[in-house]
Structure 1
């Protein structure tokens, strides 16, 4: 559970107040407006999701979905890394589990990752004028 707490703390540090409004808006179907207005920090948002069975140490699909539709691949990647390292769910298995609601989550790992030397396309210098 320490890893889970660390994950939520890490995610919280990377969610600004503006981001929080966008995330709350993305889950407006699941959070009534009066309760949404009372959530003022990302920690409160995570706490609300946990209390309403939308988030748990072994159930991350909801926030994966929210991070994807909110266009936050950086946060989504952290959740995927937690799932593959801490929960030991391999990339091959993740699409078939209840933990992954969206098969497209896998694509963000490649977007965030830096390409290796072999993957970089090298262009030839431009031709010299004669």
Structure 2
């Protein structure tokens, strides 16, 4: 549970008020407008999703979808990393359970990852002037 709380805290720190409005807009079919207006922080947003069975420690599909359609690959990647490291759900398992967001998340994961020494192209020094 500590890892899940840490994930939500990390996500919250990276969601601005402007981002929150965009995320709430992406959820407008699931959050009535009057209740959406009462949500003023990302922590309140996560809390609302949990109370309405859209988010749980082992059920992150909804926010993955919201992060994807809101064009937040950074947040989506953090959720995917949590699922693969903490919940131990491999990419093969994800595909088996028909989680449609995995292919797009996988490309973002590769963008964020640091290259290994073998992948770094080393340039030769410039020629010396005669």
Q: Is the pair's TM-score, using the shorter chain for normalization, greater than 0.5?
A: yes
Matched, 1:3 2:8: no
Counterpart of 2:77 in structure 1 is 77
**Aligned 8 A contact 1:62 1:101 in 2:** no
**CA 1:123–1:25 in 2, change beyond 3 Å: closer, same or farther?**
farther
**Aligned 8 A contact 1:65 1:101 in 2:** yes
Matched residue of 2:127: which SS? coil
**CA 1:125–1:100 in 2, change beyond 3 Å: closer, same or farther?**
same
**Aligned 8 A contact 1:64 1:100 in 2:** no
Q: What 5-or-longer segments of structure 1 have no aligned partner?
A: none
* Cα RMSD (Å): 2.3
Which moved further from structure 2: 100-109 or 26-35?
100-109
**CA 1:127–1:66 in 2, change beyond 3 Å: closer, same or farther?**
farther
TM-score of the pair, normalised by structure 2: 0.86
Tell me the distance in 1 between the aligned counterparts of 2:102 and 2:33: 26
CA distances 1:29-84 after superposition (whole Å, capped 9, x unpaired): 11111111110000000000001111000000000111111111111111011101
Which moved further from structure 2: 13-22 or 113-122?
113-122
CA distances 1:97-124 after superposition (whole Å, capped 9, x unpaired): 2666554222221122123343345678
**Aligned 8 A contact 2:91 2:102 in 1:** no
**Aligned 8 A contact 2:64 2:76 in 1:** yes
**CA 1:18–1:86 in 2, change beyond 3 Å: closer, same or farther?**
same
**Aligned 8 A contact 2:94 2:102 in 1:** no
Q: By how many angstroms is 1:129 displaced?
A: 13
